[in-house]
Chain A
Amino acid sequence: MSPEVALNRISAELRPLLCSVVRNGRVGLDSTNCLRVTDLKTGCSSLTPGPCCDRFKLHIPYAGETLKWDIIFNAQHPQLPPDFIFGEDAEFLPEPSELPHLVHWDAENPESLLELVKEVLQQYHHYQCQRLRESSRLLFEYDSLLEEPSYGRNMEVYAGRKNTWTGEFSARFLLKLPVDFSNIPVYLLKDTALDPGEDVALLSVSFEDAEATQVFPKLYLSPSIEQGVVEYDAEGFTKLTLLLMWKDFCFLVHVDLPLYFPRDQPTLTFQSVYHFTNSGQLYSQVQKSYPYSPRWDGNEMAKRAKAYFKTFVPQFQEGAFANGKL
Chain B
Amino acid sequence: MAEQSARMPGIVLSSLMFQHGNTDSDAEGLVFGESGFDEQLTISDSQTNHVHIQEIYNIQKHVTCPRLCTFYCSSGELKVDELQKLLSDRKQPVIGWFRLRRHSEQTMTFREKLVHHNLSHFLSNPNLLFLLLTPSAVTSSGSAHKTEFSAFIYRDRRFHNVPVLLSNLGLLEQNAYLRTTTPCASMGYSRATSKHSRRFFGADGALSEVTEVNLMNDSLQVELQKVCSAVEQSERSVETLRSEVSALRKKLRKRSEREVVTCTDEAPPPTLSCCSLLVTRTLDVNGYLVPEEVTVATEEEETMTTAACGKRLRKRRRRQI
Q: Show the binding face of A for B, using Cβ within 8 Å.
A: 41-46, 48, 55, 70, 72, 74-77, 80-81, 83-86, 90-91, 93-94, 96-97, 99, 102-103, 105
Contact = CB atoms under 8 A, between A and B. Distances in A.
15 contacts: A43-B104, A44-B102, A55-B103, A70-B109, A74-B26, A77-B25, A77-B67, A77-B68, A80-B74, A84-B109, A85-B105, A85-B109, A85-B110, A90-B159, A102-B75
A89 to B, nearest CB: 11
A83 B110 contact: yes
Given A77-B69, A102-B74, 14 more contacts: A41-B104, A42-B102, A42-B103, A43-B101, A45-B21, A45-B24, A46-B142, A80-B69, A81-B74, A85-B110, A93-B113, A97-B75, A102-B75, A105-B74
Nearest to B110: A84
A70 B105 contact: yes
A44 B135 CA distance: 11
Interface in B62-107: 67-69, 74-77, 101-105, 107
**Contact residues on B (Cβ < 8 Å of other chain), bracket:** 20 to 34
Interface string B108-144: 1111111000000000000000000000010000100
A75 B25 contact: yes
Contacts of A72: 101, 104, 109
A70 to B, nearest CB: 6
B35 to A, nearest CB: 25
B308 to A, nearest CB: 107
B23 A90 contact: no
Contacts of A46: 137, 142
A102 B113 CA distance: 15
Interface in B1-55: 21-26
B104 A91 contact: no
Contact of B25 (A74, A83, A84): A74
A96 B23 contact: no
B158 interface: yes
B140 to A, nearest CB: 11
Contacts of A76: 24-25
Given A76-B24, A80-B69, A105-B74, A94 B110 contact: yes
Most chain B CB within 10 A, of A44, A86, A91, is at A44
B117 to A, nearest CB: 9
A201 B107 CA distance: 38
A42 B25 CA distance: 9
Given A74-B26, A103-B75, A105-B74, A43 B103 contact: yes
A46 B142 CA distance: 7
Nearest to A76: B25
A77 B68 CA distance: 8
A91 B75 contact: no
A103 B77 CA distance: 10
Given A70-B104, A85-B107, A102-B74, A91 B158 contact: yes
A86 B159 CA distance: 14
A196 to B, nearest CB: 34
A42 B177 CA distance: 36
A44 B104 contact: no
A40 to B, nearest CB: 10
A102 B107 CA distance: 21
Contacts of B113: 93
Contacts of A102: 74-75
A83 B112 contact: yes
Nearest to A104: B74
Nearest to B143: A46
B108 to A, nearest CB: 8
Interface in B147-193: 158-159
Contact of A96 (B25, B76, B107, B158): B76
Contacts of A86: 110
A269 to B, nearest CB: 56
B110 A90 contact: no
Contact of B23 (A41, A45, A75, A94): A45
Nearest to B111: A83
Contacts of A42: 102-103
Contacts of B22: 45
